[in-house]
Amino acid sequence: MWTYCSGPPLQNALHACGGRRCGLSLRGLRHIQDPASQRLTWNKAPKSVLVIKKIRDASLLQPFKELCVFLTEGEGPFLDDPAISGDESFGPVTKKFCTFREDLDDISNRVDFIICLGGDGTLLYASSLFQDSVPPVMGFHLGSLGFLTPFQFDAFQSQVTQIIEGNAAIILRSRLKVQVFKENWEKKDGSDEKNIVLANGGVKASRPAVQYQVLNDVVVDRGPSSYLSNVDLFLDGHLITTVQGDGLIVSTPTGSTAYAVAAGASMIHPNVPAIMITPICPHSLSFRPIVVPAGVELKITLSQDARNTAWVSFDGRKRQEICHGDSISITTSCFPVPSICFRDPVNDWFESLGECLHWNVRKKQNHLGAEDEDF
């Protein structure tokens, strides 16, 4: 459904072609200096919607039903929530649904845009479903944090209608393409040693690896061991440093306000083409987070004299052990996540900083009166 132009990393991250199915076009993406100029329009009206609801949250059943009823008044949507099918009063609506099974059904060419009901974790899950091009994502804040979900559900009818009619602000959230190379490779899905097994079940000819698309961060830590983590960090083939501490976070600008900021990193606007490297509790007074250009290739390996193995996770999922001889390759992905904005990329981001993280919240200093100026 979605294809992106090839070329330098900045073009890959900031310039997109029209969609193959519904005819999406993104205007103004060449104006890197003006994030507010990025707009979403439809050449053809969208037909299919993927609705993803936060699991194990009963409070979201009623909003989910209301949204589904609203969407099914027109064309039949493509929705996901098999847990709700037992409601008899909701039965006629569910007949218009089409559910899918994760890792088994290919939905990459069947979805025009996505609606998320939940928190930031719901949007991260939506990103993980698409290992190539991602449809535009509209996130409603019905979770605990809501940094990535700027829409409130109270006015969902008018907001969804506005998106379907087009001309909405959009931000392209860059992702990381991550490949994990294992020294002791175990065959998966019947593939041979020269295959890459993709996270969505596909297979591509190359060296043995598992590939992921990561929206927030790649976290390498010491796992259950009591010893310091000891891993080597390479940039474009050159050894940059050895990380001795609890671990390392490699994050996108979107992920800079997640685990990275808790570990002392700066916050980067999602429109900045960059990769952030943040140590976790480093055993050094001078090891500070650094920002490198988008498109560089990072490689993380276990140091030869490391006392223990390391563990890695991708957006908090797919956690696995890294042993001697294994390596993790990280670079900027050509497939960002088009995230629909409530107002525009700048205002939405600063509002999230204030509302979710209470950035720079402080009681104001009292004004000096005329009598106080004499002292």
Residues with a known catalytic role: 120
Helices within the chain (DSSP H only):
9-14, 61-71, 91-94, 120-128, 156-165, 259-262, 345-357
Amino acid 2 reads W
Enclosing H/E stretch for 213: strand 209-214
Residues 6+ apart with CB under 8 A from 149: 116, 118, 119, 120, 122, 123, 139, 140, 141, 142, 143
CA atoms within 13 A on the CB side of 58: 0
Query: Tokens representing 271?
Result: 């429109």
What phi, psi does 90 have (nearest 5°)?
-100, 0
| CA–CA separation, 327 and 362 (whole Å) | 44
Contacts of 15 (CB under 8 A, 6+ apart): 4, 5, 7, 29, 30
Largest CA distance in the chain: 84
Spatial neighbors of 316 by CB under 8 A, at least 6 apart, are: 121, 124, 216, 219
Question: Is residue 151 within a helix (H) or strand (E), and if so which, with residue range?
Answer: none
Q: What is the dihedral of CA 132, 133, 135, 139, to 10 degrees?
A: 60
